[in-house]
C-alpha cells in the first residue's frame, strides 16, 4: 500500500498517524500523550490537559466527538457515559 504523504512532515494541523485505545484510570497517565481524543460514545469526561495543574470536566460530549486537547490523564471518577476512547497521535 502506497502512502502518498509519507514524505510530508507531521504538523499540528495534519491528520494523526497513530490511533490507540485509552482506558480511563484515576492515577495512570496516558502514554503516549495524544494530540486529540475521539469519544465513540458521548457523556461526561473528566481529564487533565498536559499544561494544567487541575482536572477539567467536559459535559455533553457528543457521540463520535473529537476533542483537540492533549490529555495527560482521563479519570474514571466523574467520567460517565463515555466509551470507546481513542487517542490520536
Lookup: cell for 6 = 509519507
- pLDDT greater than 80 at residue 48: yes
| Tens-place pLDDT, residues 11-38 | 777 888 899 999 999 999 999 999 999 9
4, part of any domain:
no
pTM: 0.89
Q: Which residues of 12-39 are buried (b: 16+ CB within 10 A; e: fewer)?
A: eeeeeeeeeebebeeeeebeeebbebbb
Q: What DSSP character marks residue 3?
A: -
pLDDT recorded at residue 6: 80
Range of the domain at 53: 36-88
pLDDT class for 44, splitting at 50, 70, 90?
very high
Q: How are strands ordered across the β-sheet holding 83-88?
A: 19-22, 83-88, 36-41, 65-67
Q: What is the pLDDT of residue 5?
A: 78
pLDDT of residue 61 exceeding 90: yes
Q: Would 60 be classed as within a structural domain?
A: yes
What's the total number of domains in the chain?
Answer: 1
Amino acid at each position: 500500500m502506497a502512502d502518498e504523504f509519507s514524505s510530508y512532515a507531521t504538523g499540528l494541523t495534519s491528520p494523526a498517524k497513530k490511533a490507540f485505545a485509552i482506558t480511563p484510570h484515576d492515577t495512570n497517565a496516558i502514554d503516549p500523550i495524544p494530540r486529540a481524543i475521539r469519544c465513540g460514545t458521548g457523556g461526561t469526561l473528566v481529564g487533565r490537559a498536559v499544561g494544567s495543574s487541575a482536572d477539567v470536566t467536559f459535559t455533553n460530549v457528543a457521540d463520535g466527538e473529537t476533542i483537540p486537547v492533549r490529555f495527560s490523564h482521563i479519570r474514571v471518577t466523574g467520567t460517565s457515559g463515555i466509551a470507546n476512547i481513542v487517542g490520536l497521535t
